[in-house]
Structure 1
């Protein structure tokens, strides 16, 4: 996806607040810097961070201004000096790679990886205890962009399963550089647009990565190995909703409506029932 203005603003804000500490960062994907130097300079100035005095030629230059002296990236292309690792593989087992970082960014990369369990486990393992993980991933729209879009509850259940402290949940609309704090109502208002969802988590312990269980069914889960939960997402900001219909439609009664007369189901019903 690339590094955009809202990511720079989020990182600068976290650095100024003291929530983002340390000097090492690793990115999933060798990210291009999309935002122009002038805007970066204004953002950094607003948060009393170093000024832009020379052109920013790449991600490492930008992150240095944000206080990171150690920069790594993982990318299947090997571009920009990135580590040539397959994120569908466990990095520790496949490559014997166990370095950890104060910040791990996943800026539009995980959706291009088929093995979601492994990629999110890799992110967990790359992050130091006390470090942050920032995800910026497509949630709505972006048709044919990649394999996956991510619902807000995906992030809520991911954090619950792994005991992450939730620092921020927000989203942008149509790639405009304005973050809106997540509520179900605000998300629903914009969900016909291209939405990028931002989630910032703090890793608070050194436990192994745990696969989330869908919170809607967690209370009734009898399988071993998943975190037990009595929380009911149906009573939270992460409850589901339908855009254009309702569950009554699954009963099939609408097949007699005029717009369904010439569908295969409508034709068969008329033939079998002797209707014209």
Structure 2
């Protein structure tokens, strides 16, 4: 997907505020810098970060301006000196790669990997305890862009399962660079648009990666190996996104000839038991 203007602004804000510390970064994907240089200069100036590079054409130069002296990336192409690793595999087991970083970015890469368990496990293992993870992934729209889109509830459940501190949830609309703070109302406002969701986490725990269980059914889950924080998404900001009345559409009432709902349901019941 590339490094967009909103990512530069987000990272600069995190650095200035002291949330983002350390000097090593690894990216999933050998990302292109998709930001014009005057915009980079303006953003850095706004957050009182020096423009230490005379030109910012590659990702490593941009990250140096953001305070990172060690830059690495992982890409199936091996381009730009990236590690030639398959994110569908466990990087520790397949490549004996044990390095950890202060910042891990997943800027439009995970949705192109089929094995989601593996790729999010790898992200977890690449981040040091206390480090920051930034996801920028398609949430809706973007038809045929990749294998997957990600609902907002996906991010809360993966955070709960792995004790991530949630730093920020926001999104962009139709690839405009304005970051909109996530609320259900803001999200619904842009229904049917191409939405890119940003989730910023801090890893707080040294435990191995834990698979999240869909929070909607967590209270009923009897399977071993999943964390259960007792969060019910039906009564939180991450309640299911459903337009008013849509559940009624599943009942087939439009196929009955009765004018009233009562008559329609009675006819349907009669057919079922006949």
RMSD: 1.3
Q: How does 1:60-139 map to 2 (within 5 A)?
A: 60-139=60-139
Instruction: Return the TM-score normalized by structure 2.
Output: 0.92
Unaligned runs of at least 5 residues, structure 1: 258-272
Q: How far did residue 246 of structure 1 move?
A: 1.2
Q: TM-score under structure 1 normalisation?
A: 0.91
**CA deviation digits over 1:47-94, x for unaligned, max 9?**
111126512120000000000000000000001110000000000000
What's 1:148 paired with?
Answer: 148
Counterparts of 1:228 and 1:9 in 2: how far apart (Å)? 35
Structure 1 220/112 Cα, relative in aligned 2: closer, same or farther at 3 Å?
same
Aligned partner of 2:262 in structure 1 is none
Checking the alignment, whether the CA contact within 8 Å between 1:101 and 1:126 is kept in structure 2 is: yes
Q: Is the 8 A contact 1:37 1:52 kept in 2?
A: no
Which of structure 1's runs of 4+ aligned residues deviate more than 4 A? Answer: none
Corresponding position of 2:178: 178
Partner residue, 2:32: 32
SS state at 1:55 partner: coil
Q: How many residues align?
A: 258
The equivalent of 1:19 in structure 2 is 19
Q: What 5-or-longer segments of structure 2 have no aligned partner?
A: 258-270
Conservation of the 8 A alpha-carbon contact between 2:157 and 2:214: yes
State the 1:240 CA deviation: 0.7
User: What is the rounded CA distance, in whole Å, between the counterparts of 1:54 and 1:176 in structure 2?
Assistant: 27
C-alpha displacement at 1:244, in angstroms?
Answer: 7.2
After TM superposition, give the deviation of residue 245 of structure 1 in Å: 5.0
The correspondence of residues 113-262 of structure 1 with structure 2, limited to 5 A, is 113-243=113-243, 246-256=246-256
CA distance in 1, matches of 2:18, 2:57: 27
- Equivalents in 2 of 1:246, 1:211: separation in Å? 30
Alpha-carbon shift at residue 230 of structure 1 (Å): 1.9
Q: CA deviation at 1:42?
A: 0.3
Tell me, yes or no, if the aligned pair for 2:53 and 2:65 is still in contact at 8 Å: no
| Other structure's SS at 1:123 match | helix
User: 2:101–2:128: 8 Å Cα contact kept in structure 1?
Assistant: yes
Aligned 8 A contact 1:41 1:52 in 2? no
Task: Decide whether aligned partners of structure 1 residues 244 and 35 sit closer, same or farther in structure 2, where only a CA change above 3 A counts.
Answer: farther
- Please tell me whether the aligned partners of residues 6 and 177 of structure 1 are also in contact (alpha carbons under 8 angstroms): yes
SS in 2 for 1:217: helix
